[in-house]
Amino acid sequence: MNIFIVVPFRNEKKHIVDVVKGLSKYKLPIVLVDDGSTDKSGLKIEGLRLKNLTLLTHKVNLGKGAAMKTGAEYAFANGAGAIIFMDGDNQHDPSDLPKFTKELEKGNVEAVFGARNFAGGVPLIRLLGNKFASFIIRVLFGIKVSDVLCGFKALTGKAYKKIKWESTGYGVETEMIARAGKTKLKFSEVTVRAIYHDKVKGVTILDAIGIMGEIVKWWFTI
Amino acid sequence: MIIGLQIIALIFAFSMIYFVVLHYKRGEIGKGEVAAWMVMWTVAIVIIIFPEILRRFASTFLVTRVFDLMTIGGFILVISMVTSAYIRTKKLEKKLEDLIRKEAMRDANYKNQITNNKQKHK
């Protein structure tokens, strides 16, 4: 199976080169989506000149969900059988990639969801928010996923068609799981490591409140 | 006799007509929209000057006071306008998203083509 790695990012000048270097060891095509960065992160990528690397640039910031969709559309249009999403802030450990490829190669599942190991280093507010979101999703959409907000996940082309999301922002992770529940998607979970480099980036409390509102909206619309 | 509140409402209505004409002259709105807004504000002016007109409508809808009828009418108008603006914004957002996505993919394909051509020539 032809597997592509899709990494959406915005203003990740500090980490994006390390992310790419970490991924390049695995010889998989990498699709980076620069979602309207203003810190010239894209230029750093162009300077790397790697063979299997494609950089897609949103001229205007659209949000994580939109960037993931752009990456997915590009990958599937260019021969990908499956894609693995990773965050561009170096939060995910590339050494977890074989767990995803192994699950996808088995062919039993349409999606593989990463579940962060919450043993240490995760801010308490994020941990509580995550557990609450998982509980709500389980009640409303009938799907039990340990870590609904984890951005490290894999989808086959079939799964992408089934759960193609509308969210343009951080609500994308939750919407994907909600749609997976509604469409009875076959999935498995793998444990991944998460390293928090930047506490001010990512989902804020305001984003979390917005996501909660969206969950209710999806309950009616999906 | 026209009271203070009516004067304020009339100034507001005439200002709105001025803005409608201004936006039309700038080419920002079409003839149909100008006509619709003009009719709406003219009706508003007539109601402001002769509020008694509404009394008959109020009793038809079993509303005791004219003011209550105007409040209900205002709510309906505002809600419908907000809904319409929300739908339009969502459509615009979607169009913008599609446009930026297509552009990003086109640029990447173009760059890949150039790189492939360079490699072939080598």
Quick one: pLDDT band at residue B99, thresholds 50, 70, 90?
very high
Q: Tell me the three state secondary structure of residue A17.
A: helix
| Chain A nearest-CA residue for B99 | A58
Q: Is the dihedral of CA B108, B111, B117, B118 positive or negative?
A: negative
Measure the CA–CA gap between B119 and B122, rounded to whole angstroms. 5
pLDDT of residue A211: 82
> Considering only CB atoms, which chain B residues are within 8 Å of A60?
96, 100
Mean pLDDT of chain A: 88
Contact A73 B104 (CB under 8 A): no
Nearest to A76 by CA among A152, A1, A176: A1
> Considering only CB atoms, which chain A residues are within 8 Å of B104?
33, 56-59, 70, 74
What are the tens digits of pLDDT across the range B9-50? 999 999 999 999 999 999 999 999 999 999 999 999 998 888
Measure the CA–CA gap between A72 and A89, rounded to whole angstroms. 19
> Considering only CB atoms, which chain A residues are within 8 Å of B100?
58-60, 62, 66, 70
Quick one: pLDDT band at residue A127, thresholds 50, 70, 90?
confident
CB A107 within 8 A of CB A186: no
Measure the CA–CA gap between A119 and A123, rounded to whole angstroms. 11
Measure the CA–CA gap between A12 and A15, rounded to whole angstroms. 5
> Considering only CB atoms, which chain A residues are within 8 Å of B107?
56-57
pLDDT of residue A120: 61
What are the tens digits of pLDDT across the range A27-48? 899 999 999 999 888 888 877 7
pLDDT of residue A14: 87
Whether residue A217 is predicted with pLDDT greater than 90 in this model: the reply is: no
Measure the CA–CA gap between B80 and B77, rounded to whole angstroms. 5
Contact B96 A60 (CB under 8 A): yes
| Chain B nearest-CA residue for A168 | B97
- pTM as predicted: 0.80
CA A184 to chain B, closest CA, distance in angstroms equals 27
pLDDT of residue A184: 93
Contact B100 A73 (CB under 8 A): no
Edge-to-edge strand ranges of the sheet holding A187-192: A53-58, A30-35, A3-9, A82-85, A153-156, A111-116, A187-192
Give the A:B interface size as CB pairs under 8 Å: 39
In chain A, the percentage of residues whose pLDDT exceeds 90 is 56
| Chain A nearest-CA residue for B102 | A70
CA B93 to chain A, closest CA, distance in angstroms equals 9
Whether residue B1 is predicted with pLDDT greater than 60 in this model: the reply is: no
> Considering only CB atoms, which chain A residues are within 8 Å of B103?
59
* Higher-confidence position of A158 and A131: A158
Whether residue A200 is predicted with pLDDT greater than 80 in this model: the reply is: no
pLDDT of residue A203: 66
Contact B108 A33 (CB under 8 A): no
Domains of chain A: residue spans and CATH: 3-221 (3.90.550.10)
Quick one: pLDDT band at residue A197, thresholds 50, 70, 90?
low
Rounded mean pLDDT, A85-109: 92
* SS3 track for A29-75: CEEEEEECCCCCHHHHHHCCCCCCEEEEEECCCCCHHHHHHHHHHHH
What are the tens digits of pLDDT across the range A46-64? 777 778 899 999 999 999 9
What are the tens digits of pLDDT across the range B48-98? 888 888 887 788 888 888 778 888 888 999 999 999 999 999 999 999 999
- Residue ranges of chain B whose CB lies within 8 Å of a chain A CB: 93, 96-97, 100-101, 103-105, 107-108, 111-112
CA A167 to chain B, closest CA, distance in angstroms equals 11
Residue A48, classified by CB atoms within 10 Å of its CB into exposed (0-12), middle (13-18) or buried (19+), is middle
CA B98 to chain A, closest CA, distance in angstroms equals 9
> Considering only CB atoms, which chain B residues are within 8 Å of A9?
none
Q: Tell me the three state secondary structure of residue B115.
A: helix
Q: Tell me the three state secondary structure of residue A171.
A: coil
Measure the CA–CA gap between A41 and B63, rounded to whole angstroms. 63
CB A33 within 8 A of CB A45: no
The β-bridge partners of A139 are: none
Q: Tell me the three state secondary structure of residue A193.
A: coil
Nearest to B100 among A54, A60, A74 (CB): A60
Say how many C-beta atoms besides its own lie within 10 A of residue B63's C-beta: 18
Mean pLDDT of chain B: 88
Nearest to B108 among A56, A59, A62 (CB): A56
Whether residue A118 is predicted with pLDDT greater than 90 in this model: the reply is: no
pLDDT of residue B121: 74
pLDDT of residue B103: 95
Whether residue A116 is predicted with pLDDT greater than 90 in this model: the reply is: no
pLDDT of residue A201: 60
pLDDT of residue B2: 65
